[in-house]
Amino acid sequence: MKKKSIGQYVVQDVYFHEAKKLGFRARSAFKLIEIQDTFGIIQPNMKVLDIASAPGSFLQVIAKIVGPEGLVLGVDLQKIKSLGRPNVKLLQWDIFDAPKIAEFCAANGVEQFDLVTSDIAPNTTGMKGVDQYRSIELNIEILKFADIWLKKGGNIVLKVFVGEDIQELISPVKLRYTTLQRIKPKACRDRSFEEYFVCLGKK
Ligand SMILES: C[S@@+](CC[C@H](N)C(=O)[O-])C[C@H]1O[C@@H](n2cnc3c(N)ncnc32)[C@H](O)[C@@H]1O
């Protein structure tokens, strides 16, 4: 993941420096940590799929909590550098290539996951409305993916660019999950329209 920049200025706020200090690959780690502190969704021994993992800071957080008896699979279009942990398996591929993902899960002995986390982001155009709508479309595809790969009662975390069409995502979430919790972690930049949807209890 490239550093976000405003003109020539690279954003290096407190989370950027804290991530470096603690050995996290990206500031996003703090977003997942806040989600975990609030909802406690990651538990020891779980099988977790992390969608859009590169460079791997969500993976670092998840792998530590699920522990050596748990398993985390990470998929991203970009290469994810090895975490050097036997409980983390990585694939550089498109999450929407169903046969390839099925092959990857089968190779790691997974039929369904206890938890899916997605930090997927569209290639941003700079046009707010377009980026927000693309984010909704991606998340609807992720929901359909989880219809197959997430176990009943399981939870999913979605990164969402919130805009005026957000109801188009809320409705399919509510159809599939008993509870929808929305959170904007402190590590999200104030001006960003990014939020996380924590969808609990797959029906
Ligand atoms: C915000 S970054 C993820 C940061 C990551 N969660 C972390 O903590 O390090 C978004 C990622 O989405 C990935 N991505 C976008 N579309 C994808 C797709 N169709 N399949 C897999 N990864 C995708 C991008 O390659 C990019 O690395």
Complete domains list, the chain, with CATH: 27-202 (3.40.50.150)
Which residue would you say has higher pLDDT here, 103 or 121?
103
Does residue 24 carry a pLDDT above 80? Answer: yes
Express each pLDDT in 150-161 by its tens digit.
999 999 999 999
Say what the pTM is.
0.93
Q: Which residues contact 97 (CB under 8 A, 6 or more apart)?
A: none
CA of 52 to the centre of ligand 1 (A): 3
Mean per-residue pLDDT for 81-89?
Answer: 97
The reported pLDDT for the residue numbered 7 is 39
pLDDT digits (tens, 9 = 90+) for 109-142: 999 999 999 999 899 898 999 999 999 999 999 9
31, 47, 159, 202: which is the annotated catalytic residue? 159
Q: Which residues line ligand 1 (CB under 6 A)?
A: 1, 25-26, 28, 52-58, 75-78, 94-96, 119-121
Distance CA(157)–CA(182), nearest Å, equals: 10
Q: What is the reported pLDDT for 115? A: 98
CA of 70 to the centre of ligand 1 (A): 22
Environment class of 76 (CB within 10 Å of its CB; exposed 0-12, middle 13-18, buried 19+):
buried
Residue 89: alpha-carbon gap to chain centroid = 16
pLDDT digits (tens, 9 = 90+) for 37-75: 999 999 999 999 999 999 999 999 999 999 999 999 999
Query: Mean pLDDT score of the chain, rounded to an integer?
Result: 93
Contact 22, 16 (CB under 8 A): no
Provide the pLDDT confidence category of residue 190 given band limits of 50, 70 and 90.
Answer: confident
**1 pLDDT tier (thresholds 50, 70, 90):** very low
Closest ligand 1 atom, residue 123 Cα? 15
Active-site residue 21, yes or no?
no
